Amino acid sequence: MAATTVWFIIIAFLWTGYFFLEGFDFGVGVLLPALGRNEAERSVVLGTIGPVWDGNEVWFIVAGAATFAAFPEWYATLFSGFYLPLLAILLALIVRAVALEYRGKRDDASWRRRWERALFWGSLVPAFLWGVAFANLVRGVPLNAAHEYAGTVADLINPYALLGGAATLALFVLHGAVFVALKTTGEVRRRAGRIARLAVAAAIVVGGAYLLLTQLLYGKPVTWPAVAAAALALAGAALANARGREGWAFAGTGAAIVLAVVTMFLALFPHVMPSTIAAANGLTTANAAASPYTLKIMMIVALAITPMVLLYQGWTYWVFRRRIGVPHAPQQPHTPQPVR
């Protein structure tokens, strides 16, 4: 297998891990106003992601760094053509991070409400725009013969891309609702389960429409099994949630997200950024890659570091594996950290 193909798979793996882990963070942020009816409940909801959200964002950083090093021309063209959407995502992630850290710094209800609104928008915007961005990658964008973006921001706002944004938002909201139900007790758990029953219907309709359209327009024979498996995973998540089996429901929503990302990357390969002007103008794993020596050195570093990162993050989830509820909520607001 060519080194460029291996690195395409690695980058696909990193983005898949990011959407699986950060997806429920986004969902929790969007659902905070609906899940938390008072200060104690909101502290519980935020406590579900308090120990892990910053570790989940590392996957995004590593995916971006790997793209820059392995496929520098892809990185350059992507950030020049998608400049405004990616800037909006980065600003939203910054606002979200600050909101999570600053919400509990003052014992002031209006202060907390402002940061909770910031957290809501800081979660909703990237949850939607990531879907728009990846849908445009699959669809293709106007690239000229020099592999430079020749379009405008308006070219990125098309029905297929907007459907992709709605699909990721629906999937992440469902993923977040199921995660909160899995990690909490009492009324918050029951409320999250009820919201998940509504969210799964939206995810099946919107997400299913997007994956089916992707398969019909840009798919390959190899992507049909992934699309079918994603549909089965969502159906399984709906059934498990209805029966109160949150662990299986979370496995189902996670599998649906993973399979959706796999479908997009399989549909994309061997391109990394197709051109809608002329097929020859598109960026592929071959013409966008770094030198073979660079890819070799990066492979050695990745093989050395990745297992340690996975072990550390797995240990973090194991340590904070227990459910939390209102009795565990702090009496005075502070940066959310659940009690084990």
Amino acid 330: pLDDT: 52
Cα-atom radius of gyration of the chain, to the nearest Å?
20
* pLDDT 10s digits, 119-174: 999 999 999 999 999 999 999 999 999 989 998 899 999 999 999 999 999 999 99
Q: How many residues does the chain have?
A: 340
Residues of the chain with pLDDT > 70, as a percent, come to 96
Percent of the chain with pLDDT over 90: 76
Peptide bond into 270 cis (omega under 30): yes
Residue partners of 151: CB distance under 8 A and separation at least 6 = 81, 141, 142
| Stretch 84-91: mean pLDDT | 95
Q: What is the pLDDT of residues 10-61, one digit of tens each?
A: 999 999 999 999 999 999 999 999 999 899 999 999 999 988 998 899 999 9
pLDDT level of residue 333 (50, 70, 90 thresholds): very low
**Angle, helices 3-35/292-319, rounded to nearest 10 degrees:** 30
Q: How much is the pLDDT for 312? A: 86
Q: What is the mean pLDDT of residues 330-340?
A: 46
Domain extents in the chain: 7-328
pTM value?
Answer: 0.92
For 229-260, the pLDDT digits (tens) are 999 999 999 999 999 999 999 999 999 999 99
The answer, yes or no, to whether residue 328 has pLDDT greater than 60, is: no
| Residue 112 · residue 104 · CB < 8 Å | yes
Instruction: Please answer whether residues 190 and 37 qualify as being in contact, where contact means their C-beta atoms are separated by less than 8 angstroms.
Output: no
CA distance linking residue 104 with residue 109, whole number of Å: 10
- HSE, side-chain direction, 13 A CA sphere, residue 113: 5
d(CA 125, CA 96): 10
Tokens coding 330 = 């702090």
